[in-house]
Amino acid sequence: MINLDGKIVKKDNANLSVLNRGFAYGDSVFETIRVISGKIMFWEDHYFRLMASMRIMRMEIPSSFSPEFLEEEIKNIIEANDLSTSPARIRFAVYRLQGGYYTPATRDIGYVITAEEMESSFYLFNSSDYEIELFKDHYVNSGLLSTIKSNNRAVNVLGSIYARENEYENCLLLNEKKSVVEALNGNIFLVKGTSIKTPPISDGVLNGIIRKQLINILKKTEDYILEETSISPFELQKADELFITNVAQGIQPISKYRKKQFAHKVSKDLLSKLNVKARLG
């Protein structure tokens, strides 16, 4: 079952026009949200990021789009798919209504919410082999547009194909200044001693929900010193640990980059802290 503009319909009946602007121009933004037994994880952060993304894209935000209304819409699709007591992954997509070419005929929007079951209620630590490489065929442009989750994900798609063809689990993306920005599916953190670095939003980094949660956790602990600063590719092999964060997996430790093998002590410690925050949140 799919929530299409507030109506719960069967998947086969959830049709969008071939002229839909999300398809025709990538004129769409989305959120990937984790729901545990009907509870939306980090909902406030997701809501405000969605509103910010719509404003950046100059979309008309409906007066009905209150946090309470959208939360209810998500819960409706969870119930319609019998996932009220299960862990679920939600994709909440907002698109501008069709009409016009590059210049939209309207700024009004429609939305689609889909739900699928996930395996675990909370984040599990994955210590299996996870090798990465740099993807250098295309770059992420630093700037505001790169910080939002839009349908314009060509670099991520091409990088994912490159990773699969070369048997890597993931790749790291660079911006036009040749700084490390993020992984194909999440934010990147680098650990060296008690110092933990992550690239700043100004480098073109996705404004990740788990990135934000982890930054808040690190600011409250005396065990590590957090730096939001640009990361050079040359720093990667000198790191003690590298890990990726996203809503679906929480924290994914990286085991190998080129000839360097990494530990995963800090990422394991931080994952336990993240799970505690998710339970309390």
pLDDT digits (tens, 9 = 90+) for 194-206: 999 999 999 999 9
Rg over CA atoms, the chain = 19
Residue 123 inside a domain? The answer is no
Of 197, 253, 187, the closest CA to residue 224 belongs to 197
- Are residues 157 and 90 part of one domain? no
- Residue 191 near residue 266, CB atoms below 8 Å: yes
C-alpha span between 169 and 239 (Å, rounded): 19
Tokens of 30: 């989305």
Domain region containing 158: 131-280
pLDDT for 107-130, tens place per residue?
Answer: 999 999 999 999 888 899 998 999
C-alpha span between 205 and 171 (Å, rounded): 15
Tokens of 225: 């010193």
- Looking at 91, 117, 143, the residue that finishes a domain is 117
C-alpha span between 126 and 109 (Å, rounded): 39
Q: Residue 279, CB half-sphere, CA atoms under 13 Å: how many?
A: 9
Residue 124 inside a domain? The answer is no
Beta bridge partners of 261: 256
Residue 99 sits at the vertex; the CA angle it makes with 95 and 101, to the nearest 5 degrees, is 95
Tokens of 74: 């998500």
- Say which CATH number the domain at 248 has: 3.20.10.10
Residue 51 inside a domain? The answer is yes
Mean pLDDT, residues 156-169 taken together: 98
Query: Under DSSP, is residue 216 helix (H, G, I), strand (E, B) or coil?
Result: helix
- Are residues 155 and 264 part of one domain? yes
pTM for the whole structure: 0.93
Residue 48 inside a domain? The answer is yes
Instruction: Give kind and range of the element (H or E) at residue 19.
Output: none
pLDDT for 5-53, tens place per residue?
Answer: 999 999 988 899 999 999 999 999 999 999 998 899 999 999 999 999 9
Mean pLDDT, residues 217-231 taken together: 94
In the DSSP assignment, the letter for residue 194 is T
40, amino acid identity: I
- Are residues 251 and 139 part of one domain? yes
- Say which CATH number the domain at 73 has: 3.30.470.10
Domain total in the chain: 2
Per-residue pLDDT, 121: 84
- Looking at 52, 83, 117, the residue that finishes a domain is 117
Per-residue pLDDT, 120: 86
- Are residues 273 and 144 part of one domain? yes
Q: How far is CA 178 from the centre of its chain?
A: 22
